Amino acid sequence: MTKEQPFCLVKPSYEKTKSSKIKSPESSKIPLSKKEMYEQALAEIKDRVKEVDSIIPRMATVASVLKNAMPHYFWCGFYFAEEEEMIIGPYQGTTACPNIAYSGVCGTSAKKKETIIVPDVHNFPGHIACDERSQSEMVIPIMDDKGRVIAVFDVDSSQKAAFDEIDKKYLEELMPILLEREK
């Protein structure tokens, strides 16, 4: 007779200690602002990845926590920058394009090495539609210490104009955390 082992014993950060600043989503009747949601999500991500050495599980954690924390996210995930194309990495949401050309929002962000916010994807030249329900998008490049883009973080919403400077600020602050243990 074998004893069944639990798959994962890690509880959400807000349940770990009574002094935690992260609140359970059910703990407040007042809706949180976007800023407050990002602050809680980033605190949870930092707590969960602090002992993780590899970039892949760090990316998976980022995608999972943000997809569950941010109600305006329809899809979020990473594309790795390869020589000829971009290859899907960890993501949350509907099925993604497994590889994409250096066009569209992801490719443009990687080539320009800058965050791109697109309020209406249907007006972006060369937009790659992996899911027709996507209405707006934001892509943040992830660069190594030599300034090379190694991946991008792509976020889609089913709402037009879902992303703004608040999203940009918090996601740009978060991306370097992915590479901290890789050095």
Can you tell me the distance from the alpha carbon of 81 to that of 183, in angstroms, rounded to the nearest whole number?
19
Instruction: End-to-end CA distance of the chain: give it in Å, rounded.
Output: 45
Residue 12 pLDDT:
53
For 119-182, the DSSP string reads S-GGGSTT---SSTT--EEEEEEEE-TTS-EEEEEEEEESSTT---HHHHHHHHHHGGGGGGGG
Model pTM score? 0.84
Backbone torsion region of residue 38, taken as left when φ is above 0, otherwise alpha when ψ lies between -120 and 50, otherwise beta? alpha
Residue 85 pLDDT:
95
Half-sphere exposure of 79 (CA within 13 A, CB side): 31
Domains contained in the chain, CATH given: 32-182 (3.30.450.40)
Residue 5 pLDDT:
40
Any residues with CB less than 8 A from the CB of 50 and at least 6 apart, and which? none
Can you tell me the distance from the alpha carbon of 149 to that of 65, in angstroms, rounded to the nearest whole number?
23
Q: Take residue 63 and report the two structure tokens written for it.
A: 């995608």
Beta-bridge mates of residue 138:
117, 155
Residue 2 pLDDT:
44
Residue 27 pLDDT:
53
pLDDT per residue of the chain (183 residues) written in tens, 0 to 9: 444 444 444 455 445 444 344 555 555 567 899 999 999 999 999 999 998 989 999 999 999 999 999 999 999 999 999 999 999 999 999 999 899 989 899 999 999 999 999 999 999 988 888 888 899 999 999 999 999 999 999 999 999 999 999 999 999 999 999 988 655
**Whole-number CA gyration radius for the chain:** 17
